[in-house]
Structure 1
Amino acid sequence: MNNGQDWKDKLKSSLKMDRRSFLKTTALGSAAVAAGGLTLKPKEAQAFAYEPYPRDDELTTVVTSCAHNCGSRHMLVAHKKGDVIVRLSTDDGRYQKDGAFGKDTFEEPQIRACLRGRSYRARLYSQERLLYPMVRTGARGEGKFKRASWDAALDLVAEKMELLKSKYGPTALLDQAYAGASWGVLHKSDQIEGLQARFLGMYGCRTSSWSVPSYEGTKFSSRITFGTIEDGNEDDAFAHSKLIIMWGWNPAYTFHGGNTFYYMRMAKQKGCKFVLVDPQYTDSASAYDAWWIPIRPNTDAAMMAGMAHYIFANNLHDQNFINKFTQGMDAGTMPDWAKDQENFKDYILGTYDNTPKSPEWAAEICGVSADDIKKLAQLYATTKPAALKASWSPGRNAYGEQYNRMAAALQAMTGNIGVLGGCSEGIGKAWHAEGVAYPYDEFANVFYQSIKSDRWAHCVLNYPNVKREDIGLWPGGKAGDGLIPDIRGIFWQGSDWFNQLTNINKEIKAINKLDLVVCNDSTITPSGLYADVLLPVATHFERHDVALPWYKGHYYIHRPKVIQPLGESKTDFQIYTELAYRLGGEQFGKRYNPKANRDYFLNDDAVDNAYLKDWWEHKVMAHQHVEMPWDEFQKRGVYKFKLARPHVAFQDNVEKGLPWPTPSGKIEIFSGQLAQYDDWTKTAYGHEIPAIPKWIVPWEYLGDKEKTVKHPFHLISPHPRHRTHSIFNNIGWLRETYEQEVTVNASDAKKLGIKTGDTVEVFNDRGSIIVPVYVTERLMPGVLVVYEGAWIDLDENGIDRAGNPDMLTLDEPSPAGSFAYNTVLCNIRKTDLAHKPGWDRLATARSHVFRRDL
């Protein structure tokens, strides 16, 4: 037999076959040759590349979205067979009105999901998925639970709630809801408008958490300076910038809108210059060929003061803008009643303290040369329009609000506010979405006392010997102004805050003093391991809602119930409605959920649809002039607004003379509100905040010669690309690409005798973590980087083997509420202790092979 000729004949005949038949036949032909030419009967190929996955024509396609607190809200397209999602894709242009495959325009860009959203199927069906109510049987943190019925679990929660309320009063239950896992117009878990806030407030027992870990200092700055947090442009405005300064911002990892990179790329193509001010040379700097200016952490306000000095001294400021639109920038813009108080320009020039805040003065503090400070100031002041994007990260520091207020002063003095291509961003919230589908009435957001989020452990451990200024006690609490809350229980909804707040070791001590800890989640997280009761929550694939854009983006995405809830999962709205009926009968139940009856716990479809339809018709269509009916929106899956002009914050204030929503009607560089406080202990801030932006020495930084003897490194903990805070930490697909590690500068590593791949202990007086090392030149000396969000994994000595940097952070109260995640001095040493990375070492990828081993 001529085997070669037989093979040629098979190949020739296969050209007349379809691809699938060809693959079958050639595979069998290879087997026949290997077996010496035996003739075999063709069979279905068992190793076909796309099996056992169904083909597209066998699947149902459903438009939905991401749901998490990641910096955007992108479209996901679920491809399902029966009631199982087998694949996720994203926006390809065809789903919107008049859309066609591939449509992707400047006005209506595709809302494409990132690698986190695209991996969501692995989270939906993960081993850590919480499917049934569970009740703790072991010690807190031990992870020992038994399955319970919904009746038993809710009876236990209701009974404990009644006991704690009657015994300890209306402050006994701490509300720690956040926007981590349930962000839509109906199923909402934030601190203000969320379902848990509404439930506990109506119940009459709620201590709220008033501060936002991501940007509290920034929020304070935006409100005190501009009178609003809506100080952002939509991201298409970046396409018109001639200079973009990424101050502490890495948009490759933490974009603040759906298409940030799309528009920044357009700016780059038109000749825009990019600058990065950051201790790290980031992927964003690489992508845009940015001028990298390494800066010592927590010294940003000093460098900005040096830039302001250069701009004033060289007459590069926009005096016309200052005169028309600012209060307190200089002596001529001070209010009459405060002429004898400090103004910003004279502070910068050193009129009051004989210390000019010159580039040379700033260089000694921030580690940036005076020449580079001058060069950047000259570039920013003379390039029009220029966008100084003051990101949130440098504000997550001791006195972080001063950095953002200093940035606002720079933005104003150069006239880059209210102009296309400029930037006034602190918080950066842009286009306004209609965000609440359920009644938001006098019962919503009732709190009986309110404290700063990360000071709960201090309050619990030291009660009743607690000063109001030590916990950020909000003035005028309904339980009585000045009353210290007697916290005996915590409710977590949409938050893994036990894993994410500062000073985790302090939290561990405090949680063991509580009588009730309830965790609503779809995944068993580190917070869940410390709970008494775990209540399984349906994911956004398993409930009906509408997705909002994040702080930027102008669109709505329909989010249908793609599949039925797994296990015995319920929505948060179902859980709180049922608890309301148990605690207060029909009166409480109907007040909390007016459209529902008691059977809502068993079937929520009609009620949820009624809320969403009313919201669409009475808010979106009525207020935002949308003509698309609800039924059509459901069918298409997305509505993208086409704006008449790019959304630029404060454009009408500058062009039409509208007042800013501040007491003075102007941009308040000098805050009249701050200047008139006479007793700071009776404010939520507790400690004095200067009326103008200033450099204030932080309690830990590399300029502290005494503290750096023991702890010579400054640790920062930026947001990673492969997690949204702690969400997605358990997804193997993502952990294959990145490890939890400490990044060390090459010169520091040489002195320490460590190299990439070594295991080290990063430690200070508050805690210790074990992580592998990554050595690089892309980080300034003296600084360490450990990405936030790793799930804690403590050994018998309380050392975190997984590498969560919040074992080392401090919960010290910072004026204006800044969370000092990046104000951390520490040390580093080699160790024989093992890193316990979970998926890191189980992953199949070997991305570290391609890193240079320094």
Structure 2
Amino acid sequence: MIKKHALTKLINNSLNQERRNFLKVSATGFATLAAGGLVKINKATAQAYQPYPTDNQLETVVTSCAHNCGSRHMLVAHKQNDVIVRLSSDDGRYQRDGCYGKDTDEEPQLRACLRGRAYRERIYCAERLLYPMMRVGERGSGKFKRVSWDEALDFIANKLIEIKAQYGSQAILDQSYAGASYGVLHKSDQIEGLQGRFLGMFACRTSCWSVPSYQGTTTSSRWTFGTIEDGNEDDTFAHSKLLIMWGWNPAYTFHGGNTIYYMRKAKQNGCKFVVIDPLYTDTAATFDAWWIPIKPNTDAAMMAGMAHYIFTNNLQDQAFINKFVQGMDADTMPEWSKNSPNGTENFKDYILGKYDGQPKTPEWAEKICGVKAADIRKLADMYAKTKPAALKACWGPGRNDYGEQYNRMAAALQAMTGNIGILGGCAEGVGKAWHAEGVAHPYDDYSNIWFSSIKSDRWAHIVNNYPNVTRQEAGLWPRDDNLDGVIPNIRGIFYQGSNWFNQLTNINAEIEAINKLDLVVCLDQTITTSGLYSDVLLPICTHFERHDVALPWYKGHYYIHRPKVIEPLGESKSDFQVFTELAYRLGNMTGIGDKFGQAYNPKATRDYWNKPDPVDEEYLRTWWEERVMHHQHVEMPWTEFKKHGVYKVKLERPHIAFQDQVELGLPFQTPSGKIEILCDELARINDWTKTRYGYHIPSIPKWIEPFESLNHPTKTEKYPFHLITPHPRHRTHSIFNNSAILRETYDQEITINAGDAKKLGISTGDKIEVWNDRGRLVVPAYVTQRCLPGVVAIPEGAWIDLDSKGIDRAGNPNMLSADTPSPAGSFAYNTILVNIRKTTLQHRAGWDETSISRTHVFGRDI
């Protein structure tokens, strides 16, 4: 039951009063009419509710959004007492020396997108988790009972001790991620997060080394450049003469919140835009881009065709290659490669067909990717001859089987044209740019301890097949102790700041696996899909209800103060409070007393459970003074930062990745000190079974056929459509799925080419059944010419809603995706073959069909 807040009471009281007045007038009027008399109609003055308080009646507090949707921009909370009445965003007045309307290239406004502006609905939503709850029915049934914090935490602590004693130090799987709990203090992720620190100190943790959004890209960037900070800040796009957006739709998933602003400036300066994508996106339409539709999962082949054209026409920047690149051609091969098991090939000779007898010509590429050879040559010519040019190789095409080869091939094109380290060029990749100081909580020798590390979406395969699982199947990270190569016997999962049960591949395999576990705990702000399959639900307060500082996500150079805007709703606590209290309980249960709790949260006593604010303040102040002010030479004191709410860092020059390497001769962060088209690490591997990859990966970028695509003649007989799963505009992955406001603007639907739809008798709005060997779902159709024939698209992130036969009525494409491992860690979200047909099966989208978005789950009759 959700506690009514002051604003709700205000509105309800007003509605009830107006209803009473209406009934009085109606009763009199109807009686008069019934008697045959005439009634004088007065001008209506009633209104549905009392007016909202005006801004001068409200307290204004600067804060931010919290999620990985493309930034983390400013939100301004307007509140009355302890209730947030509305949210606005940056208007220039809050920064130092700011004034209303200030908005410059140097200090741009940090305006929130529609998701952030809808956040008030998430705070007060029907699915808000307000009390600890424990499962009383089967997992997934939605049957829980309210319990006290003591009961919930004692249960968890006892189960942790029991599981560790019986199954060892690998038995608990850490599935935290930076979804709903991310700041410099209250942080959830695999490397720097609070949950990983807690489970590591307890000495029972299996971590996940792969990031679903861009693991293939991450691996590629580290191999090629030695870092994932391979991005420019977005203001540099304004200087590009050609912007190639490969799988990138910044109208929906901008990377850095002012991306579109700088792209508009580039357009005004004469920049040409190209979009390579199976869909004609809103970005392509907005910037009048040349749209090149491409078969999914074939991007590396098209890039190889472009490389062939550049090499055979001698358009490469040979001076750049000779100075900065390893392995581009025979003359840039290192001496050691002659004796390496994998290092004898160079990229140019591979492209020209020296090794396999197949030149990677545009005509060869056309047969694979479906793009005309003439268009491949035209684009290659444009890219090679235009300076500066930015090839923005975004993450979507990397979310495929062998997705890392797409990113490595893109890096080869970027390097061979000399567009790295220059203003208006581009080396990304992952694209992380300006580095923020990101950790305010304790981060020391206890942090990020793990006893096994697996590829994230292989956990279900491990549980379902244990102990008959190979190291390669698990994607085990190497260790230097007796646990190296040991397959974890996973008996429990902790979900923190993530809804990975909903978001990882092959949900049906996860359902089978989770029912075999002894403990599933979910720490979250709302009741998500992961929560429905948990044993214990722990209510975590939102970032409006605790003290923290927001970091830019991906790009941007600023810090935003996040004060506690309102008190935590219900009985919710912060993650830091929960893990601190669990540490004290475990210490007392295991006989070490308070030592565990004191080590986990050294600035606090156990009273942190009741009085977190002074401790949070001390952590944040120390972080600001010792890391931000000292390391980044920020002069604004902590008290002044809190007063303004935002600090925008003024850069001395545009932030360009690898500018110092190119201009000053500093080495790249690779073993060779160069851009490694020939990868040192891969070329020197003798035993692939000892790596986390498990399988051979070529030491240079190559086209490798994925496990399924439109080019598979036998598989396409049964499943003739290739499904891709782009990010939606109205959700951040699965966050905001239950937002009524956002759901009214966008539907969960399947996009189908008009020609394909005509053959199948499908019209927009028809219910469509989509299936393959892994699962089945129902979703409405959207028919359009803006989709390549043979390709269909369903946005990721919808919360699953299964019927009695296991068919998803909400339309989550991860019912259909495969958890097949790709050696470098890529997730195969866009490597999916399916079939489709019209159906009479039920589609239940959520709020729009069931009045309140998720409450039907708890009392449904299936």
Both proteins in one fold, TM over 0.5: yes
How far is the alpha carbon of 1:36 from its aligned partner?
Answer: 9.6
2:81 is matched with 82
Q: Show CA shifts across 1:474-504 (max 9, x none).
A: 1006661111111100000000000000000
- Measured in 1, the distance between the counterparts of 2:129 and 2:318 equals 59
How far is the alpha carbon of 1:830 from its aligned partner?
Answer: 1.1
2:542 is matched with 539
- Measured in 2, the distance between the counterparts of 1:348 and 1:54 equals 67
DSSP-derived class of the 1:73 partner? coil
1:565 and 2:565 matched:
no
- Measured in 1, the distance between the counterparts of 2:518 and 2:815 equals 24
How far is the alpha carbon of 1:55 from its aligned partner?
Answer: 1.1
The letter for the 2-side match of 1:706 is T
2:47 is matched with 47
Equivalent residue runs for 1:324-363 within 5 Å: 324-339=323-338, 341-363=344-366
The letter for the 2-side match of 1:599 is D
- Measured in 1, the distance between the counterparts of 2:233 and 2:846 equals 39
1:98 is matched with 97
The letter for the 2-side match of 1:59 is L
2:144 is matched with 145
1:798 is matched with 806
Q: Show CA shifts across 1:772-807 (max 9, x none).
A: 100000000000000000000000000001100000
1:530 is matched with 533
The letter for the 1-side match of 2:692 is A
DSSP-derived class of the 2:824 partner? helix
Equivalent residue runs for 1:615-764 within 5 Å: 615-764=623-772
- Measured in 2, the distance between the counterparts of 1:478 and 1:521 equals 35
| Counterpart contact for 1:792–1:803, Cα < 8 Å | yes
1:849 is matched with none
- Measured in 2, the distance between the counterparts of 1:373 and 1:392 equals 21
- Measured in 2, the distance between the counterparts of 1:741 and 1:835 equals 10
Equivalent residue runs for 1:376-387 within 5 Å: 376-387=379-390
1:611 is matched with 619
- Measured in 2, the distance between the counterparts of 1:583 and 1:338 equals 53
| Counterpart contact for 1:740–1:840, Cα < 8 Å | no
- Measured in 2, the distance between the counterparts of 1:116 and 1:309 equals 43
Equivalent residue runs for 1:802-821 within 5 Å: 802-821=810-829
Q: Show CA shifts across 1:798-841 (max 9, x none).
A: 00011000000000010100000000001001111011111244
DSSP-derived class of the 1:817 partner? coil
2:18 is matched with none
- Measured in 2, the distance between the counterparts of 1:478 and 1:80 equals 55
DSSP-derived class of the 1:715 partner? strand
Q: Show CA shifts across 1:180-208 (max 9, x none).
A: 11111000001100000000000110000
How far is the alpha carbon of 1:37 from its aligned partner?
Answer: 11
2:857 is matched with none
- Measured in 2, the distance between the counterparts of 1:767 and 1:752 equals 21
**Length-normalised TM-score, structure 1:** 0.93
Equivalent residue runs for 1:91-240 within 5 Å: 91-240=90-239
1:598 and 2:606 matched:
yes
Greater shift, 476-485 or 181-190, is seen at: 476-485
The letter for the 1-side match of 2:804 is E
| Counterpart contact for 1:448–1:477, Cα < 8 Å | no
How far is the alpha carbon of 1:270 from its aligned partner?
Answer: 0.8
DSSP-derived class of the 1:738 partner? coil
Aligned residues: CA RMSD:
1.7
The letter for the 1-side match of 2:544 is F
1:58 is matched with 57
Equivalent residue runs for 1:12-23 within 5 Å: none
| Counterpart contact for 1:174–1:490, Cα < 8 Å | yes
Match of 1:578 among 555, 578, 581: 581
- Measured in 2, the distance between the counterparts of 1:169 and 1:417 equals 48
How far is the alpha carbon of 1:52 from its aligned partner?
Answer: 3.5
DSSP-derived class of the 2:763 partner? coil
2:374 is matched with 371
Residues 127 and 826 of structure 1: CA distance in aligned 2, closer, same or farther (over 3 Å): same
Q: Show CA shifts across 1:693-735 (max 9, x none).
A: 0000000000011110000000000000000000000000000
How far is the alpha carbon of 1:244 from its aligned partner?
Answer: 0.5
- Measured in 2, the distance between the counterparts of 1:268 and 1:567 equals 50
How far is the alpha carbon of 1:389 from its aligned partner?
Answer: 0.3
| Counterpart contact for 1:281–1:292, Cα < 8 Å | yes
How far is the alpha carbon of 1:374 from its aligned partner?
Answer: 0.3
- Measured in 2, the distance between the counterparts of 1:725 and 1:478 equals 37
| Counterpart contact for 1:716–1:821, Cα < 8 Å | yes
Q: Show CA shifts across 1:567-601 (max 9, x none).
A: 00000000000000000131000100000000101
- Measured in 1, the distance between the counterparts of 2:826 and 2:851 equals 37
DSSP-derived class of the 2:653 partner? coil
The letter for the 1-side match of 2:65 is C
The letter for the 1-side match of 2:685 is Y
1:553 is matched with 556
DSSP-derived class of the 1:815 partner? coil
The letter for the 2-side match of 1:759 is K
1:68 is matched with 67
**Length-normalised TM-score, structure 2:** 0.93
Equivalent residue runs for 1:502-521 within 5 Å: 502-521=505-524
| Counterpart contact for 1:398–1:819, Cα < 8 Å | yes
| Counterpart contact for 1:449–1:479, Cα < 8 Å | no
Equivalent residue runs for 1:398-477 within 5 Å: 398-476=401-479
- Measured in 2, the distance between the counterparts of 1:82 and 1:287 equals 43
- Equivalent pairs, count: 810
2:10 is matched with none
- Measured in 2, the distance between the counterparts of 1:616 and 1:273 equals 42
How far is the alpha carbon of 1:603 from its aligned partner?
Answer: 1.4
DSSP-derived class of the 2:712 partner? coil
- Structure 1 residue runs without a partner (length 5+): 1-27, 845-854
- Measured in 2, the distance between the counterparts of 1:567 and 1:92 equals 33
DSSP-derived class of the 1:706 partner? helix
How far is the alpha carbon of 1:53 from its aligned partner?
Answer: 1.4
Q: Show CA shifts across 1:258-306 (max 9, x none).
A: 2100100100111100000000000000110000000000000000000
DSSP-derived class of the 2:224 partner? helix
1:481 and 2:484 matched:
yes
DSSP-derived class of the 1:68 partner? coil
1:850 is matched with none
| Counterpart contact for 1:449–1:477, Cα < 8 Å | no
- Measured in 2, the distance between the counterparts of 1:378 and 1:86 equals 55
1:5 is matched with none
